[in-house]
């Protein structure tokens, strides 16, 4: 299966700000997980996807009121029951946040369930992301 990118966008509103007047990391994490979930759910049934771990959200600069943030998410690695998403958050094309999230494919009781998916990395960038995902600490 090739790697597809999914994009969600949000306008940073006053209710999304922290005490410094910039995007609250918790709100960003909510949107970060949401777009990763959309990428994972596009490959299987959404009711079988649960978030296991955010491996990190590295901010390169603050995000300000009124800016439009675009979250680009793609599944870059598939284990037996896991799917790892790489997410880049952009403002006007500039990457301001990036990181990985692991999702687990689970049954109705929450037990890991094999998904039978494979992800084919084609480009050098995709191969590098897949290698990083494969080597993320548990």
Query: What CATH number has the domain bearing residue 79?
Result: 3.10.129.10
Q: pLDDT band for position 3 (50/70/90)? A: confident
pLDDT given for residue 4 in this prediction? 87
Confidence (pTM): 0.93
79-130: pLDDT as tens digits:
999 999 999 999 999 999 999 999 999 999 999 999 999 999 999 999 999 9
Confidence of residue 138 (pLDDT cuts 50, 70, 90): confident
Residue 66 phi, psi dihedral angles, 5° rounding: 85, -10
Q: 138: buried, middle or exposed (CB in 10 Å: 19+, 13-18, 0-12)?
A: exposed
pLDDT, residue 59, reads 95
Alpha carbon distance 6, 33 (integer Å): 12
| pLDDT reading at 134 higher than 70 | yes
Q: Is residue 117 part of a domain?
A: yes
For residue 49, the enclosing domain spans 6-134
1 assigned to some structural domain: no
d(CA 35, CA 74): 9
> What is the average pLDDT across 21-40?
97
User: How many structural domains are present in the chain?
Assistant: 1
For residues 66 and 11, the answer to whether their CB atoms sit within 8 Å is yes
């Amino acid at each position: 299966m090739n790697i597809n990118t999914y994009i969600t966008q949000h306008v940073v509103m006053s209710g999304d700000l922290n005490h410094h007047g910039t995007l609250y990391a918790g709100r960003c994490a909510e949107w970060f997980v949401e777009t990763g979930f959309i990428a994972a759910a596009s490959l299987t049934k959404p009711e079988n996807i649960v978030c296991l771990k955010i491996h990190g959200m590295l901010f390169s600069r603050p995000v300000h009121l009124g800016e439009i943030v675009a979250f680009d998410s793609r599944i870059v690695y598939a284990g037996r029951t896991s799917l790892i998403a790489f997410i880049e958050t952009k403002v006007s094309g500039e990457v301001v946040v990036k990181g990985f999230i692991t999702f687990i494919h689970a049954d109705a009781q929450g037990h890991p369930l094999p998904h039978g998916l494979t992800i084919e990395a084609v480009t050098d960038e995709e191969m590098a992301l897949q290698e990083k995902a494969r080597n993320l600490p548990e």
